[in-house]
Every structure is written in structure tokens, then in C-alpha cells.
Amino acid sequence: MTQLDRQGPADPVSVPFTPGMRDNPDELAEMPEEIARAVEEPADPTPTEELTAEWRNASYNCFSSGHKFCREVCPVMQVTRNESWTPTAFHANVVAMDKGELTIEDVAADYVNCTQCGACELRCPNTLFTGDFYRFRTRTVDVVKAVRALAVESGVHQPAWQSWNARTDELTHEPVLGETPIDQEHVRDWSEGLDLPIGGETVLFVDCEAAFYRTSVPRAVAQILQQAGYEFGLMGEQWCCGGPAAEMGYVDQAMRFARHNLDNWRSTGTRRVLVLDPHDYISFTEDYPKYFGEEFDLEVVLVVEVFAELIREGRLTPSVPIERAITYHDPCRLNKRKGIWQEPREILRAIPGLDFSDVDRVTQWSYCSGGGGGLPVEKPELTAAISASRLEKAAALEVDTLVSACPWSERPLTEAGEAVDIDVVDIHELLAESLGITVGGSRNGGAGA
Ligand code: SF4
């Protein structure tokens, strides 16, 4: 007796079945139709669904851990104590959007309150403890950028960012000075009298703030490079790097600007881009490779690293003593985002006469100026409060000078420095002074080279 005999008549569904065969059991005749009912086309995901699909795991990972270590290193949290503006909240909002509890309209304004300094990413135990093993890093900066981009795509704008980006688009440079003439015709005014060529294998890219406002910085950089015999030129037609637009969520505009700059470098035979501003450095090393993939094959070199190397090689020898009591302000995009904190200290230690009080605060613990991530455009009062807090820390070291390596930090830091009688000086300018160079230019948007 077979197994089938023992169990009675065969279950038609258990019999091997080939659709369309004549000997199929009658009971199955209707099955193919039933099984093959029309497959519903999945609807295209909405932009919100695309975002939550990408960031769901990271956001639940943060939301479920609940330790919130990041809050204490967050510069916005330090001055506001507002729980809605923490990295934890930024991730929790993504969870809420994923569950349909909140919409982008509900949360977009919270994401203004971030300088994209990256401290939270480093402080996060998910980065610290599992990162070593799994190469995992919490990416709050990217979450903030993605949600801001979703807001813009969904037509949810922050008023100051919207008009700032419209002006940038019109001028092809950031409107750093409001009504001061900022356009292609004036973008190289800072270099007057320095006799710099256009194009060539290496070009110096000068960010909008330095090109139009703090022109002493690019002048210092250019003259130091000339003293060392380092060959370079200027861009043929330089536009804003597009980084700030990308940080505020205006990604299409950022990509158009990037395309223009890349095409211009190609047209002048450029292979290497020298960068003095940490924000440009982030754009060129992180955003451009994402936009262009392998097409972006240029070398991007940070000026501070070049100067440290030239000093090491003996091609630059700072010898004019500078009698100042200084401390150093680590720009977030160099230190926390890129791990570059040694070279600036190398330069400072090579300058004779400086009394350098270093802070025991690198990586996640270093302070922020509040000048990044579009915060000064939309919330200048928060930027001012963060800069004031930064200067208080410097004042506690009893220094007379705070040295920075970021033109975008220097304006709010300088304003805060006036209140505590601390001079804010750019590291490139300080080095130029010790090399006996008369820099010229403006430190506050004034006229003249
Ligand atoms: S960002 Fe990191 S440290 Fe902050 S709450 Fe989330 S998991 Fe914790």
C-alpha cells in the first residue's frame, strides 16, 4: 500500500501540475487564472518615501539607542537646549515620516538649526563603538542635507535661504555683502597687483567670502605660494563652489555650479585645485565626486597642508617674530569632518614669538563658530551666540588672539572677539606676516587690494 492509498484520494493541489496540460485535474482548471491575476504596478515612491527608505535603518538605529551622547557636543544644543534641534530629533523625525506621523511640512524648519559641524557623528557611540569594527559612522550631516533637499523639492522653503540662493543663482557668487558689487567682473579683484596667470595645471580656488569680503586671506595665500616658488594660476571663470546651496537643500543649483566649475577647469587644462577654505574642500572632496563619479578626476589640495609641507621641506622659513598669545580655532570641516588638525598646529609652532596655548579639544570635542550649514543666513542670532561661546573659551586661556583657518568662521568670530577684546586672525595671514610679506587687502569687506 502506498502512502497515497493510505491517505485516500489524492489532494489535487499536491499533484505535480503544469499549467495548460490536458490531463490536469478538473479542480485545478480555474487555478491558473486565479494565480495569474493581474499584478499591480507598484506606484512610484514619493520623494518622502525615497528619503525614508534610504535613511530608515540609520534613523531607527539612532532612535532606538536613546543615549543622546551627541547633544552635549552639539553647538546649537549648547546655546539653546532645544530638544527639537538635536541630532536625535533629526533622526526621530525621519522615523515619524516613515510611519506617516509627520510630514516634511511639519519638520523642515527644525533642520535649519544645524551647522553641519559633524561633532555628533564622532561623539555618537554607534560610530565610536561599532564603527571600529563595522566601519560604521553615524551620518547626521547627510541626514540633515537630505531632509533639507526634500523640503526644497517639496516646495517647503525657509525665507532667507530661498532669497539667498536666488541671489546666488543670479550673481553666480554668494551675496556675502548684500548690495556690494559681487559678480564675475569683480571676482579676481582681490589679486590686484599680484600678476597671477589664468589657468594652468594648478589653480587656486577662492571662496566667495574670501574673494569679496576677507580679501586679505587669498592675498596672503597667493603671496606665500609665490615666495615658495609654487606655480599656480587663477580660474578662468570661477563660480561659487555650490557647497552652501547643497547644504541648504538647493541641490540642483549646486550641481549646475559644480558643472560650470568642472567645465572651466577642463577648458584651462587644470589638473589640481588648491583650496584655502574648508567649506570648498568639503564640496570638492565629497559633493563633486558624488555628482560626477569618475569624471571628477582632479586632485584637490588644501593650502594649509601645502604650507606645512613647504615649511618641513625648508622652502618656507617663518622668521619674523610675532609676539602674540594665541590659541587655535579648529574649523569643523577640517578637524571634525576631515581629521585635519595637525598641520595648522605645525605651522603655528614654526612661527617664532608666538605663545601658543593649545586647547585639549580636538575631534568631537572641538568648538564650533556657528558659521556653517547656512545657519548665519537663516538664524544669525544663533550663529552669534555660538561664536560668543567660542570666544569665552578662548578668553579663559587668557590669550589676546584666536587664530582660525576658515574665512566663513572669521566674520562671526571677529564680531564676538570684539566683545572680549580678542583679535581674530587668519592662519595664512599670520604665516605671511612671519615670512615678511605685506599682505594688503581687506579684513571686513572694505575696498582695496
Ligand atoms: S546621533 Fe548618535 S549619539 Fe546622538 S542620539 Fe543618535 S545614536 Fe545617540
**pLDDT digit string, tens, across residues 406-416:** 988 898 999 99
Q: Lowest mean pLDDT: which of 22-36, 174-188, 271-285, 342-356?
A: 22-36
CB of 99 closer than 8 Å to CB of 123 = no
Ligand 1 nearest atom to the CA of residue 123, by list position: 3
Q: Is 70's C-beta closer than 6 angstroms to any atom of ligand 1? A: yes
For the four alpha carbons of 14, 19, 25 and 31, in that order, the dihedral sign comes to: positive
What single-letter DSSP state applies at residue 285?
I
Q: Could you tell me whether strands 202-205 and 233-234 are parallel, antiparallel, or unpaired per DSSP bridges? A: parallel
Type of residue found at 300: V
Q: Is 442 in the pocket of ligand 1 (CB under 6 A)?
A: no
Instruction: Compute the Cα dihedral for 98, 100, 101, 105 and give only its sign.
Output: positive
- Residue 47 Cα to ligand 1 midpoint, Å, equals 25
pLDDT above 70 covers what percent of the chain? 87
In DSSP notation, 237-263 reads: S----SHHHHHHT-HHHHHHHHHHHHH
Reduced to 3 states (helix: H, G, I; strand: E, B; else coil), residue 105 is helix
Task: Indicate the DSSP class of residue 220.
Answer: H
**36-40, 103-107, 139-143: which range is least confident on average?**
36-40
Estimate the crossing angle of helix 303-312 against helix 342-350, to 10 degrees.
50
What burial letters (b/e) apply to 249-281, b meaning 16+ CB within 10 Å? Answer: bbbebbbbbbebbbebbeebebeebbbbbbbbb
pLDDT tens digits for range 300-339: 999 999 999 999 999 999 999 999 999 999 999 988 888 8
d(CA 374, CA 369): 12
Does residue 140 line the site of ligand 1, with CB under 6 A? yes
- Maximum CA extent, the chain: 107
Residue 271 in contact with ligand 1 by CB distance below 6 A:
no
Report residue 287 as a C-alpha cell.
559633493
pLDDT, average across residues 360-376: 81
Report the nearest-CA residue for atom 5 of ligand 1: 68
Closest CA to 120 of 289, 328, 368, 396: 368
Which position has the higher pLDDT, 178 or 249? 249
Average pLDDT value for the chain: 89
pLDDT digits (tens, 9 = 90+) for 94-140: 999 999 999 999 999 999 999 999 888 888 877 776 666 666 778 89
What's the sign of the alpha-carbon dihedral 189, 245, 277, 420? positive
How much is the average pLDDT of 24-48?
A: 71
Question: Averaged over 193-213, what is the pLDDT?
Answer: 93
- Taking alpha carbons only, the member of 177, 106, 373, 407 closest to residue 275 is 407
One-letter identity of residue 84 = S
Q: Using an 8 Å Cβ cutoff, are 240 and 206 in contact?
A: no
- Residues 248/164, Cβ–Cβ less than 8 Å: yes
For the Cβ of 335 lying below 6 angstroms from any atom of ligand 1, the answer is no
Helix (H, G, I), strand (E, B) or coil at 403: strand
Q: Which residue has the cell 572651466?
A: 264
Ligand 1 pocket, mutate which of 57, 67, 116, 141 (most atoms under 8 A from CB):
67
Residue 175 pLDDT: 86
What the block records as the C-alpha cell of 328 is: 587655535
DSSP helix/strand/coil, 301: strand
Do 310 and 346 touch, CB atoms closer than 8 A? no
List the residue whose alpha carbon is closest to atom 3 of ligand 1: 124
Tell me the pTM: 0.86
Which protein residue has the closest C-alpha to ligand 1 atom 7? 62
**370 CA distance to ligand 1 centroid (A)?**
20
Q: For a substitution probing ligand 1, which of 63, 73, 88, 144 has the most ligand atoms within 8 Å of its CB?
A: 88
Whether 89 is in the pocket of ligand 1, judged by its Cβ within 6 Å, is no
Taking only the tens place, the pLDDT of each residue in 372-404 is 999 999 999 999 999 999 999 999 999 999 999
- Contact call for residues 433 and 322 (beta carbons, < 8 A): yes
Could you tell me whether strands 272-275 and 202-205 are parallel, antiparallel, or unpaired per DSSP bridges? parallel
pLDDT of residue 323: 97
- Residue 334 CA to residue 230 CA, distance in Å, equals 23
Mutate which of 57, 64, 68 to test ligand 1's pocket (most atoms within 8 Å of Cβ)? 68
The predicted structure's pLDDT at residue 38: 67
- Predicted confidence at residue 227, as pLDDT, reads 97
- Mean pLDDT within 335-356: 93
Q: Which residues pair with 275 in a beta bridge?
A: 205, 302
| Alpha helix segments (H runs only) across 156-242 | 159-171, 208-212, 216-227
